[in-house]
Chains A and B, each alone.
Chain A
Amino acid sequence: MPARPDQLITVGDCDLHVRRQGRGKPLLYLHGTEGLTGIAPGLGALARTFDLIAPDHPGYGLSGDAAAVDTMSDLAMFYLDVLDQMGLEQVHVVGHSMGGWLALEIAVRNSHRLASLTLVDSAGIHVQGVDKGDLFICTPEEGLALMNHDLEAARVRHQAMVAEADPRMVYRNRVTTAKLCWQPRLFNPSLARWLHRVRLPTLLLWGENDQVLPPAYGEALSRAIAGSRLLTVPSCGHMLPFEQPDRFSGEVTTFIRSLAS
């Protein structure tokens, strides 16, 4: 099926690596703090229904760096350029964790090319009194326990990732995540003030046991985004697309199909 799986497109000074797969409505998948490594199962299912467009953000994976990108606001502007350059219309955006934050930053700026948002365990705002989990201070083993509900399954996925991934790439991914998310941790203080500008059909998918961004974050986003729907997935932590790939692709597909009718 993958007629054109890997593309390198030049946007500004950055060679952006894009996995593009399948046919149908365009679906832009914005990855989270860990990069795209290991995401294949859930995305493969989406590529059976959609024209899946899954870039490595600048500074991650096989993409180059973008000199203009220091913050999540910069990265949102960068993706508006990407959408313009690719000439995409009616794009369904799916963002996980940091990628959900990015989707919101894009949508409050300009949503003319967008058709819907699916935000999965999404960062971007701060909820007073609800602490986030610290992805940066924990050891790799503690990180797995923090991010996943089923630790054993997470270990297996992690080992497969480690066996495959170039340690330099993993380190670079982490450095870029720190650059974008360290301070303020996983949010932009001004974003919450502009969420009324999100006027797209929005689905919020949340792991019931998310300890990085507890479900209270999903509830706060659902209150801030008019008409959005929050769906909480039981026995699932922060890594919903990894932990529940079938549920993930199923809910995204059902949501987007429901919009067409």
Chain B
Amino acid sequence: MKVFMFHLMPYLYMDLEYKSKWRSPWVVMPNSEYDPVKGHELYNRFLDELEYAAELGLDGVAVNEHHQTAYGLMPSPVVTASALSRRIKKARIAILGNAFGLREHPLTLAEEHAMIDSITGGRLITGMVRGIGAEYHSMGANPALSHDRFHEAHDLVIQAWTRPGPFSFHGKYFNLEYVNPWPRPFQKPHPPIWCPSTGSAETIEWAAHPDRKYVYLQNYSPVKSVARFLNGYREVAQTRYGYEASSEQIGWAAPVYVGPTDEQARDQARVHIESLFNKFLNLTFEMMFPPGYLSFDSAVRMATHKKQIMGSQTVESLIEQGVIICGSPDTVRRTLTDAHRFLGFQSFLALLQFGTLPRDLTEQNIRLFSTEVAPALQALTDREYMGFEDSMKAMAA
């Protein structure tokens, strides 16, 4: 298994009592709440944390994109990945993801990813996402066109990376007379593409398609949902597309906190993980699901899913549901090894800084996870996986 550290880079000085003033840290919280001096400190601290994880032997680090929110300070993950690309010498750098369809001109992202891939000698992983609903408010992109536009942006980028240029591209949203990017990506045919999601059926079907076989990454979900969606990917591959999905095609991302003992881990993580789920992740239905972002049926389903993970969570309820993994090195190692035995995912992303988690605890978490947990996970292969049929049987039971 490949093990990554994922970072959201939250503005952790956010006033946690914002609810009396603003409905959400997304879209509407005024940016006068952001202090550039503290921002300077945070960016450098967070970059240090990712570099530390890479030094301690993780396979990669991962960053992502969100706009106009205290939840995460990475409107351009290209900038974050670039800042890491010369400091991290061996580990992979994953942009999970970039919202290609949100851009007026996705070719610029194709060029930027090709640059990072070239600088790192082929260590970039490209995540392709539509962006969450709130992004459509913040960026003035039309949610009713988001699927279409995302798919066309994807096609443009893949062609730009693989077809000899110059060629012209004519779609519904993007029209270019010359597609001929310099540089081309270092990796052939292009950087691996991952699709992070909270479990949309449309994304799973699209990612699993035999023309793509992109890595599907499940995030922020109770472990039961993780099982349903990861096995769902394997099932779609098998029954709809007639091929056996490789375990390399699926991954899981979850907040992880490792402390000296189970009890200490819970106590140390408590207020910080609760701030992530109860404060930073607080979006209204209208922000999350602007009209047309999801089909009617998916919107109804996702509203239920979000209610499960957002709102009044405690560290105990999050552990109980398996939304987070928290405990001593033994507990965390056992939990993840058991999950791998059941689901066989070959990528795991640990969110090792979350909410207000301060520097010292984050460093302890990175150290314990990277040295006490990750090596055991990195040794896991398909030999330790029970296999798809047994997994489906176990899930049914």
Binding site for B on A (CB under 8 A): 70, 136-139, 167-168, 171-172, 174-179, 182-185
Contact = CB atoms under 8 A, between A and B. Distances in A.
Contact of B286 (A70, A138, A185): A138
**Which 5 A-B residue pairings sit nearest by Cβ, starting from the closest?**
A179-B144, A174-B291, A178-B291, A175-B292, A178-B144
Contacts of A168: 296
B57 interface: no
B395 interface: no
B28 A137 contact: yes
B60 to A, nearest CB: 36
Contacts of B36: none
A137 B140 CA distance: 12
B142 to A, nearest CB: 4
A175 B27 contact: no
B376 interface: no
A139 B296 contact: no
Contacts of B287: 137
A75 B287 CA distance: 27
Q: Choose among A137, A138, A184 the residue with the greatest number of B CB atoms under 10 Å from its CB.
A: A137
Nearest to A140: B286
Contacts, number: 49
B299 interface: yes
A230 to B, nearest CB: 30
B182 interface: no
A176 B145 CA distance: 10
B286 A178 contact: no
Contacts of A185: 140
Given A175-B144, A179-B144, A183-B142, A137 B291 contact: no
A184 B142 CA distance: 9
B303 to A, nearest CB: 12
Contacts of A136: 137, 286, 290-291
Nearest to A185: B140
Q: Choose among B144, B284, B296 the residue with the greatest number of A CB atoms under 10 Å from its CB.
A: B144
A139 B136 CA distance: 16
B97 interface: no
B290 A178 contact: yes
B243 interface: no
A138 B287 CA distance: 9
Contacts of A183: 140-142
B285 A177 contact: no
Nearest to B139: A183
Given A137-B137, A171-B296, A182 B286 contact: no
A178 B296 contact: no
B329 interface: no
A137 B27 contact: yes
B143 interface: yes
B286 A176 contact: no
